[in-house]
Chains A and B, each alone.
Chain A
């Protein structure tokens, strides 16, 4: 049976309870090509059942909900099955499995979580703010994984006096820090009036980037490995080639 759910943690846990005894279960929150005669179920989140499942799983592994959050944020289309197999293993073994690194389900989950966490770390460096006329900072991002709200604590800690908006243009939502509170809001398109000096600072930064390079030691492959091209779009030093 194929279990469709909406990608939220509650719906996942509800679907998990249904699919757990099913030997031939497929969980998916995206589109799926159906074979003829394949049985399907559309699972809607049931908060009460989800809460029960959450409690039980946390008894087995008190940190497993963090893993679930990371897995469901992954942009990889296999994430639903990776999460399902990982939680199935926790349920059958009845204990934390994260260090059982020779198990296929754990290897897949560990890699998936690591990719999400690594992208968060990358964006701590690669994110670029622009200063608006009002003094607030605006950063458009287009990450592989759904992480824009997880970037907030880092920047809030270092720029406590600057309100800022981190805009995930792919998922059309934004994480906002207004100088006091943090919230997540849908955001299709943002018109930002920039401060008068913004272009001048960006030009200085481009000049710096060009000057600090040692042309006789060109290693483009290494540069692209560390800083993949898909992240260049919003970086002033890279976006004009």
Chain B
């Protein structure tokens, strides 16, 4: 059994990776333990509001790379630990049996060399699948610069793999993660995508990354704008067939002159995720949401902001608008749109009916008519004010709020 101390070290170095989903794999139980849960399943929630679905852990945090933003970088003075493949397998099986977890999220620092680290990851998942008869979910991190044959074999055992792009441009990567290059991350992603397509086209036996690939970007450690980030995400969805792009707002865990001292706001991360949803489920393109060199507005959600820039499309009549138009109304999500589409087959919908159906009208009422009636405010500036006001309570400014203000009053500087 792995020691509590080792578990602590290897978990704490893994926890800043944001991906947690266990969805997308329908792997069947083949006689041992476990299966895939296609929609994913959360097993617990931590006090930071995040879910625990997979056992998120590093095989080792002993790294030869020296990426500036990373806690496990080689010149950082932190306790180091390396687990054996057996320790990990045992942990997964006993946690899974007790229904603590949905599977394993295994990553590793670049221990000794990229090939060695990737080999150890492969060894662990192979053992877990073949010797321990585990059919639950496995998400495996790829190590940049590792040999492509090891990567290929690992994909035969994992449900999902991911390479973290981390920084949106080559320039930032050179500055902050000197041993990584954009190529070392993008090439294996492309390789896996190609092999996955081939595997499917030839209808080969077995599975090859049934849940596809994902990636992660750190937001706020480098100067890229939201527009650039969203265009990159869109390119990855369309071109590289990625399932998810995760955003991680930068938290300073190490201090370095090249890194900002303050965390990037969580609100910025939230807005990026909202925009990401618009790309994936609402039929928007990155170009519609934000200009290339611009940022998403913080006071409004991106759908609202888009609607206010495009008032010529509104209001739309809920009883006749097609699905894709309804989805573009601020405040109407996929669930509400479906409800409206179902209900209006039987009766004409007025505002009362919408309210009863729990369609949230706070934002939507400015952009729709129901049975010909309009209950919103027609004036664009008024709407903008109303919608933005709900996002945070206005605060009365105080003359005595901080030291600087006080010293300005007294003249003592």
Q: Which one of A48-56, A61-69, A72-80, A219-227 is at the interface?
A: A219-227
B95 within 8 A of A: yes
> Does A34 sit at the interface, judged by CB under 8 A?
no
Does residue A46 face the partner (Cβ distance < 8 Å to B)? Answer: no
Contact between B356 and A214, CB atoms less than 8 A apart: no
Q: A99-B342, A197-B1, A237-B44 are in contact. Are A128 and B100 (CB under 8 A)?
A: yes
Closest Cβ of chain A: how far from B326's Cβ, in Å?
Answer: 14
| Interface status of B94 (Cβ within 8 A of chain A) | yes
Q: B228: shortest Cβ distance to chain A, in Å?
A: 25
A227 to B41, CA, bound (A): 13
- Among A101, A214, A217, the residue within 8 A (CB) of B357 is A101
Known: A99-B345, A100-B346, A204-B1. A158 touches B29 (CB 8 A): yes
> Is B47 in contact with chain A by the CB < 8 A criterion?
yes
Residue on A with the closest CB to B339? Answer: A101
| A128 in contact with B7 given A101-B343, A223-B47 (CB within 8 Å) | no
**A residues in contact with B251, CB < 8 Å:** 214, 216
**Is A205's CB under 8 angstroms from B97's CB?**
no
A50 to chain B, nearest CB (A): 29
* A127 pairs with B99, CB closer than 8 A: yes
A44 within 8 A of B: no
Which single member of B34, B47, B49, B343 contacts A100 (CB below 8 Å)? Answer: B343
Would B48 and A201 count as touching, CB distance under 8 A? Answer: no
Residue on B with the closest CB to A122?
Answer: B42
Q: How distant is A98 from chain B, measured CB to nearest CB, in Å? A: 9
Answer whether residue B98 sits at the interface, using C-beta atoms and an 8 A cutoff.
yes
Q: Is the CB of B98 within 8 A of A223?
A: no
CB pair B47–A220 under 8 Å, yes or no, is yes
* Residue of chain B at shortest CB distance from A220: B47
Known: A125-B42, A126-B43, A227-B44. A212 touches B349 (CB 8 A): no
Asked if B136 and A158 sit within 8 Å, CB to CB, the answer is: yes
Listed stretches B50-58, B146-154, B239-247; interface member:
B50-58
The majority secondary structure among interface residues of chain B is: loop
B98–A205 contact, CB under 8 A? Answer: yes
Smallest distance from the beta carbon of A63 to chain B beta carbons, Å?
15
Interchain CB contact under 8 A, A104 and B356: yes
Which chain B residue shows the least CB distance to A130?
B98
Digitize B12-34: 1 where CB-to-A-CB distance is under 8 Å, 0 elsewhere. Answer: 10111000000000000101111
CA distance A221 to B48 in the complex (A): 9
A235 CA / B409 CA spacing, docked (Å): 56
Q: Is the CB of A205 within 8 A of B95?
A: yes
- Whether B174 is near chain A, meaning CB under 8 Å from some CB there, is no
Is B169 engaged at the interface, CB distance under 8 Å to the other chain? no
Chain A CB within 10 Å — which of B14, B55, B357 has the most? B357
**C-alpha gap A52/B97 in the complex (Å):** 45
Residues of B within 8 A of A214 (CB): 15-16, 46, 48, 50, 251
The distance from the CB of A168 to the nearest CB of chain B, in whole angstroms, is: 16
User: Is the CB of B353 closer than 8 A to any CB of chain A?
Assistant: yes
Min CB gap B263→A, angstroms: 8
B258 lies within 8 A of chain A by Cβ: no
In the complex, the chain B residue whose C-beta lies closest to that of A160 is B29
Q: Are B35 and A157 in contact (CB under 8 A)?
A: yes
Distance in Å: Cβ of A236 to nearest Cβ of chain B:
8
Chain A hits for B7, CB < 8 A:
204, 207-208, 211
- Is B45 in contact with chain A by the CB < 8 A criterion? yes
Q: Does B4 reach chain A (CB closer than 8 Å)?
A: yes
Nearest B-chain residue to A159, judged by Cβ: B33
Known contacts A102-B353, A129-B98: does B51 contact A226 (CB below 8 Å)? yes
> Could you give, for residues 267-300 of chain B, a 1 whenever the CB lies within 8 Å of some chain A CB and a 0 otherwise?
0000000000000000000000000000000000
Residues of chain A with a CB closer than 8 A to B349's CB? 102
